Structure 1
């Protein structure tokens, strides 16, 4: 437990920060669930629908946004696409896939989105980088341990290991 000096406590109280910190850290945290290898999990939603054109996938452990699918214009492009941002890479996905992907996200079928990306989208041959297919969960970059592999000075791939110790290539 962190100890705060009396002087620091009086400064915190005088600026009304101390009660605010306690309020935000206690009131907005969902109740704890079972532990995943020492990491307590909470009841975070599987998918967050920001709008009809944006979905976010939060980490099952901490609730941080790990993946975003949003219609926009990707970097180095002039056409609208689904802009994917994950834990180790981001890219544009052809807008023709939006109805299918967004329907699955609306239904919280992350496994179907992952499989579709693996099979049909060349730059996503490893699927959703933050997704562990074995435990059917999304993890942020803090909870999905990543390890880059290099061969003769050139990038080869990135491995991800989830808190349940499942390892797979998440980017190649």
Structure 2
């Protein structure tokens, strides 16, 4: 009984492998272009897989479209533009530089430059302001006079502290 089950499983697995489409190209150059293109195109359903890696139905359709376009003699750019018109920039793993994509391409660099500029400006301000916190001799004398007048200078003792006495 086990032999029949194993034989049937082996037969069905062989049939599933045999059902894959065999693609024939005019030249090995076209075949290389095909495999290169399907690695560069993203599956719209899987989001983070190329159409070469995806088993989704739409990926199979897209692979067939790429195959047909290559056999019809279309260039890589023409095929990419055709798919881009249908699925937008998302279909390309490396979208073109331009338009709204400029923010995506150069935004991180601009943000890093702004952050670096702010950090440098703060460090320079902090370094130049370090000596400004000290008082001149004249200012120190004025502070001491004000403290003596208010009775808070350490050299001035008040009788209030001495009159309290001990609690016993």
TM-score by length of 2: 0.26
Structure ID, larger Rg:
2
TM-score by length of 1: 0.26
Q: Which is strand-richer, 1 or 2?
A: 1
